[in-house]
Structure 1
Amino acid sequence: MAAAKQVIVIGAGIIGASIAWHLTKAGAQVTVIADSAPGGVATPNSFAWINASWGNPEPYFRLRIRAMAEWKRLANDLPGLPLAWCGGLNWDLPADRLEAYAAEHSSWGYGIERVDREQVARIEPNLVEFPGFALHVAEEGVAEPVATAKALLADAERQGARVLSSTVTALVQTDGRIAGVDTSHGLLAADEVVIAAGVGSPDIAATAGISLPIETPPGLIVHSRPYKKLLNGLVHADKLHMRQTSEGRIIAGSDFAGGDPGDDPEATARDLFAVVKAALRGAEGLELDFHTIGYRPNPIDGFPIIGRAEGMDGVYVAVLHSGITLAPAVGLFATREILDGERDPLLAPYGLSRFAQ
């Protein structure tokens, strides 16, 4: 029997956790290295919306739809994940663009329902104002991000993975390939290294001469103290995106990716929270607990970077925004490619080589 492949996964956010879990389940010997707590840095600041919604060209839509299905498979494999298919309500576009989006995505098979004011009131009765026209997608959902990452890592550890708290200072090269990592606690060897460290990924990749072209825009999201149930699902109103967590917190941003923190993030957070309270009936006792400012790893063309770096064996890259939606599919596809050399056709547009000059 061939020896199990030794794989180091750098990053303990939702992407690193999913890749580590899938690799471990498939029989690899996995070591996760992170200099942050389980859940990583970007993951705790995520709105955590699982969707294949607007603004997506069809190839990316197909990847996201597959990822939504993989969430259901993952939930069956790992019962108890904090996952809810609560539905999403959207009117954060002009009516003509909403109609165009609905027509396009419906033709692709997305379960969009056009709803009027009365239907919106039935879906989200605690809104102060009901739009005359909105779109509802019952199949959209949320996964509480940190709890999900922790559950994946804990189950990977149960199956034999190691999770180390350390800082990766460099990728180690031997004979033209990556053979491990140098860390704050010494050298670690591996057959393959996976870079899934979010905004920290470019600096790590650069130690081996690999360029990862990403941007890291900030996004502010407010979090209330736990409160009685006011929202049934995701709400995407004009400049206000909000949902209620499983523990009763309302989390909201001026956009699902978080809004501009401005020069005074505290004031921005207070102003945004005032808008949240004004938008909900029964929110008189709702209190702001804290705000987060997330820095999300966005490849410069807006699409994921998933795959091996050309010209450098032994290193696999998984850096992307929309990590919550894509996590289970990325974990599955990366595992197949790393262990069996099988690249899923849905990943074809998303290799690093597309940025080559």
Structure 2
Amino acid sequence: MSSPKQVIVIGAGIIGASIAWHLTKAGAGVTVVSGSGAGGVATPNSFAWINASWGNPEIYFRLRIRAMAEWTRLAKDVPELPLAWCGGLCFDLPPDRLEAYAAEHSSWGYGIERVDAKRAGEIEPNLVAPPDFAVYVAEEGVAEPVATAKALLADAERLGARVIVGAVDRLTLSIGKVTGAVVSGETLSAEEIVVAAGAGSPAIAATAGIELPLDTPPGLIVHSRPHRKLLNGLVHAERLHMRQTAEGRIIAGSDFAGGDPGENAEATARELFAVTKAALRGADRLELDFHTVGYRPTPADGFPIVSRADGVGGLYIAVMHSGITLAPAVGLFAAREILEGERDVLLAPYALSRFAQ
């Protein structure tokens, strides 16, 4: 009987946690390394929207739809996941573009309902100004980001993984293949290494001679103090995207990825929170608690990088902006590719090698 393949997963955000869980579930010996502990850096600043919504080509839509289905599968395996299929109401586009989006995605099988102001008011009764025209997707949802990553890592530990908090100084190599990682001065050995460290990934990959074309634009999100229920699901209004968390906080950004914090993030946060409060009926006692500015790991062409790194054996890269939506599918597909050499067809467009062409 062969011994389990030893894999180091660098990153404990939603992507690293999912890959670590899937690898451990499949029988690998997994060590998760994170400089910030469970939850990572980008994940706590996520709007946490699970969707296959607008602005993407059909091939990427298919990956996102599969990922939504994988969330349901994963929730059966890890019942502690804070997952809610709360639906999403969108009117953050001019009517003609909104209709074009609805028509396109409906033809692809996405469950879009066109709604008027009366129906929008039924979906979200506390909107001060329900839109005359919006689209609603009941199958969209959220996964509370930090709690989800922590639940996956806790279950991975139960299955035998170990989680280490420490800074990755560099990767170690021998004859063109990774052999491990130096973590806070200590060398850890592994047969495979997964770099899923979000905005920190390029610096880590560079120690193995791999260049990751990654942008890290900032995104500001405001968080209220817990409040009685005001929102049923996700609301995407013009320059105001908001939802209410499981603990009752209203979180909002000028878009779902968070907006430009400007030169004075605190002032931008106060202005955004005032707009949020004014948009909701019954929000007189809603109070701003804090704001976050997250740096979104965004590959240069906007699409995920999920693949082996050509030229360096045993090195796998998994970085993307749509981490919450894609996490369960990326975890499943990456684990299969690492352990069985099987690359899912849905990942075909997202190899790192595309940037070398």
TM-score range, shorter chain: over 0.9
Matches within 5 A, 1:67-78: 67-78=67-78
Unaligned runs of 5+ in 2: none
For residue 182 of structure 1, report the CA deviation from its aligned partner: 1.1
Match of 2:100 in 1: 100
**2:285 alignment counterpart:** 285
Instruction: Give the equivalent residue in structure 2 for 1:125.
Output: 125
1:152 aligns with 2:152: yes
Give distance in 1, aligned partners of 2:20 and 2:164: 13
Tell whether the 8 Å contact from 1:74 to 1:328 is kept in structure 2 after alignment: yes
- TM-score, normalised with respect to structure 1: 0.99
Say if 1:86 and 1:232, in contact at 8 Å, map to a contact too.
yes
**Alignment-derived partner of residue 320 in structure 1:** 320
> What is the alpha-carbon distance in structure 2 between the residues aligned to residue 304 and residue 92 of structure 1?
24
- 1:256 match: 256
Once residues 188 and 94 of structure 1 are traced to their aligned partners in structure 2, the CA distance between those partners, rounded to angstroms, is: 53
Residue of structure 2 in register with 1:295 after alignment: 295
Residue 263 of structure 1 aligns to a residue whose secondary structure is coil
The CA deviation at 1:108 is 0.4
Following superposition, the deviation at residue 2 of structure 1 comes to: 1.2
2:7–2:30 contact (8 Å) kept in structure 1: yes
Shift of 1:232: 0.2
Secondary structure of the residue aligned to 1:271 is helix
1:80-99 aligned at under 5 Å gives the runs: 80-99=80-99
One-letter amino acid of the counterpart of residue 180, structure 1: G
Residue 346 of structure 2 corresponds to which residue in structure 1?
A: 346
1:207: Cα distance to partner?
Answer: 0.5
Q: Contact conserved, 1:166 with 1:185, CA < 8 A, in 2? A: no
Structure 2 SS opposite 1:52: coil
* Aligned equivalents of 1:157, 1:31: Cα separation in 2: 9
Map of 1:65 onto structure 2? 65
**Aligned-partner SS, 1:152:** helix
5+ residue gaps, structure 1, are none
Q: Do the aligned partners of 2:170 and 2:183 also contact (CA within 8 Å) in 1? A: yes
Asked if 1:221 is matched to 2:221, the reply is yes
Q: Which moved more, 1:181-190 or 1:256-265?
A: 181-190
CA contact (8 A) 2:196 2:318 kept: yes
Secondary structure at 2:97 match in 1:
helix
Residue of structure 2 equivalent to 1:182: 182
Give the residue type in structure 2 aligned to 1:234: L
Q: State the 1:3 CA deviation.
A: 1.0
For the residue of structure 1 that corresponds to 2:317, the secondary structure is strand
Match of 1:212 in 2: 212
Rounded Cα–Cα distance in structure 2 between residues aligned with 1:87 and 1:151: 23
- Find the counterpart in structure 1 of residue 114 from structure 2: 114
The SS at the match of 1:33 is strand
Which residue is 2:3 aligned to? 3
- Distance (Å, rounded) in 1 between the aligned partners of 2:320 and 2:182: 24
Report the secondary structure of 1:259's partner residue. Answer: coil
- Return the alpha-carbon distance in structure 2 between the equivalents of residues 37 and 75 of structure 1: 22
What code does the residue aligned with 1:339 have?
L
**Residue 271 (structure 1) aligns with:** 271
Cα distance in 2 between the residues matched to 1:199 and 1:62: 26
Alignment-mate amino acid for residue 258 of structure 1: G
Shift of 1:80: 2.2
Amino acid in structure 1 at the alignment position of 2:31: T
CA displacement 1:78-137 (0-9 Å, x = unmatched): 112100000000000000000100000000000000001100010000000011000000
Q: Could you list the per-position Cα deviations for residues 238-280 of structure 1 after superposition, in whole angstroms to 9, with x for gaps in the alignment?
A: 0000000000000000000000000110000000000001000
Amino acid in the other structure paired with 1:104: E
Q: What is the identity, as a one-letter code, of the residue corresponding to 1:162?
A: R
Structure 1 residue ranges (4+ consecutive) displaced by more than 4 angstroms after TM superposition:
none
Q: Deviations over 1:135-169 (max 9, x none)?
A: 00000000000000000000000111010011111
> Do 2:169 and 2:185's aligned partners in 1 also have CA atoms closer than 8 Å?
no
| C-alpha RMSD of matched pairs (Å) | 0.5
Looking at structure 2, the residues matched to 179 and 356 of structure 1 have their Cα atoms a distance apart, in angstroms, of 25
Output the amino acid matched with 2:296.
Answer: R
Amino acid at match of 2:341: G
2:356 is matched with which residue?
356
The residue type paired with residue 81 of structure 2 is L
What TM-score, normalized to structure 2?
0.99
CA distance in 1, matches of 2:339, 2:75: 23
Q: Deviation of residue 37 (structure 1)?
A: 2.1
C-alpha distance in structure 2 between counterparts of 1:311 and 1:263, whole Å: 41
Alignment check: 8 A CA contact 1:242 1:253 kept: yes
Aligned residues: 357
Question: What do residues 306-326 of structure 1 show as CA deviations (whole Å, max 9, x unaligned)?
Answer: 010011111000000010000
Cα distance per residue 1:164-189 (max 9 Å; x no partner):
01111111001110111111141111
Inter-partner Cα distance in structure 2 for 1:185 and 1:39: 23
Give the letter aligned to residue 75 of structure 2. A
Return the alpha-carbon distance in structure 2 between the equivalents of residues 127 and 80 of structure 1.
31
The C-alpha deviation readout for 1:29-75, integer Å capped at 9, x for no partner, is: 00000110210000000000000000010010000000000000000
Of 164-173 and 223-232, deviating more is: 164-173
